Amino acid sequence: MVYRMGELFCGPGGLAWGALNADIGDWNTRIVHAWANDIDNLTCQTYRHNICKDDYADSVICQDVRELEISRGNLSDIDAFSFGFPCNDFSIVGEQKGFDGSYGALYTYGVEVLRTFQPQWFLAENVSGLSSANEGFAFKKVLADLISAGYKVFPHMYKFEEYGVPQARHRIIIVGIRDDLPCDFRPPSTTPYKDVDISVRTALNNPPIDDMAFNHEIPFMSDKVVERLRYIKPGQNAFNADMPEDMRLNVKGAKISQIYKRLEPDKPAYTVTGSGGGGTHMYHYEEDRALTNRERARLQTFPDDYEFFGTREKVRRQIGMAVPCRGAKIIFEAVLRTMEGIDYESVPCNIKI
């Protein structure tokens, strides 16, 4: 079957790339783009250019989801649905406001899509902090609402570095299958990827990035930042490196930090984020500079011909908020095999409901 997929909070297309490239060896079983929505114009430009090109430009709706008309008259029918609902208020980095924040309740628009269109399956993604926000109530509420929309849910904490992604990125992904369908989802096994080289060195250099690659501009570094980086060894940051007093940051209470932290060449990267101010750009393990956006995109497993639109800062945010393309592809392939009744190597869900 060909599954037409709709998407809310689509971002630059990490989930969509994984979905459209999912391949289980049968061209008759695949996922195709139906429509997508995001609030940010430049992000939508990136998505259109890479995912659906000009032929489907109108199918990418740039609009606040709170103003989007979720109806059969406004959006086409779908067989599948994905939504990486905004994670700002669930992240363990920050205040973790949960439902009390500006973004916490936006998942309900995804639930509305499920109730309206009743697709056969869905995939929802959020940060690991979702499970503990509002003392665990937020996660239980999200799952209850998805179940009440008519779905069996299969939540799992994925460690993407275990799936061949060169980055320690941990995310909760909930796969849902409509109640009337006789199949249950199991997360794909990590065993096939245990020998994959996920080192930063390999990710950034094999193959070498072309000097003319999209979004590969070397960021400006002030003289003081360059000097500070010279004292920081791979794996160290501005607080645990041995450096002169005048190079240290005047910040109290910092114990474990990614501020001016260099990557370690023989390990996967730490988590790529959308931030970049105050020394959080991610720093090269050898060169005295922050990573380029193309390098950050490599850590997120975007192909080198994937072009992002916007200023360097806006592109950095798009990349940091995305789901790793190749990790998403592996999960979507497991979903397709589940729906088609094809056996595959799997593991039990590690989150109980």
Q: Is residue 284 part of a domain?
A: no
Cα–Cα dist 83/7, whole Å: 6
Give the bridge partners for 60, in sequence order.
36
Q: Is residue 243 part of a domain?
A: no
Q: Please say whether the beta carbons of 315 and 293 come within 8 A.
A: yes
Cα–Cα dist 154/175, whole Å: 5
Q: Please say whether the beta carbons of 59 and 35 come within 8 A.
A: yes
Name residue, tokens 């589940």: 338
Cβ-Cβ contacts under 8 Å for 136 (sequence gap 6 or more): none
Q: Is residue 275 part of a domain?
A: no
Q: Please say whether the beta carbons of 117 and 76 come within 8 A.
A: no
Tokens read off for 31: 């996922």
Locate the DSSP E strands across 112-243. Answer: 121-127, 151-159, 170-178
Domain count, the chain: 1
- In tens digits, the chain (353 residues) has pLDDT values of 999 999 999 999 999 999 999 999 999 999 999 999 999 999 999 999 999 876 666 899 999 999 999 999 999 999 999 999 875 444 444 454 544 544 458 999 999 999 999 999 999 999 777 766 666 788 899 999 999 999 999 999 999 999 999 999 999 999 999 999 999 999 999 999 999 999 999 999 999 999 999 999 999 999 999 999 999 999 999 888 999 988 888 776 555 578 899 999 999 999 999 877 778 889 999 999 999 999 999 999 999 999 999 999 999 999 999 999 999 999 999 999 999 999 999 999 999 88
| pLDDT 10s digits, 247-259 | 888 776 555 578 8
Q: Is residue 96 part of a domain?
A: yes
Q: What is the dihedral of CA 17, 20, 22, 25, to 10 degrees?
A: -150
Cα–Cα dist 6/76, whole Å: 8
Q: Is residue 28 part of a domain?
A: yes
Q: Is residue 89 part of a domain?
A: yes
Report the mean per-residue pLDDT for the chain: 91
Can you give the pLDDT at residue 105?
Answer: 83
Q: Residue 145's domain is classified under what CATH number? A: 3.40.50.150
Q: Is residue 117 part of a domain?
A: yes
| pLDDT 10s digits, 24-56 | 999 999 999 999 999 999 999 999 999 987 666
How deeply is 126 buried, as exposed, middle or buried, from its count of CB atoms within 10 A (0-12, 13-18, 19+)? buried
Can you give the pLDDT at residue 278?
Answer: 76
The CA-CA-CA angle for residues 56, 69, 65, to 5°, reads 80
140 phi and psi, to 5 degrees? -60, -40
How deeply is 329 buried, as exposed, middle or buried, from its count of CB atoms within 10 A (0-12, 13-18, 19+)? buried
Q: What is the pTM of this model?
A: 0.92
Alpha-helical runs (H) found in the chain: 14-20, 41-47, 107-117, 137-148, 200-205, 223-229, 293-299, 312-321, 325-340
Range of the domain at 174: 2-194+322-340
Q: Catalytic one among 87, 183, 325, 349?
A: 87
Does the annotation count 325 as an active-site position?
no
Length of the chain: 353
Q: Is residue 75 part of a domain?
A: yes
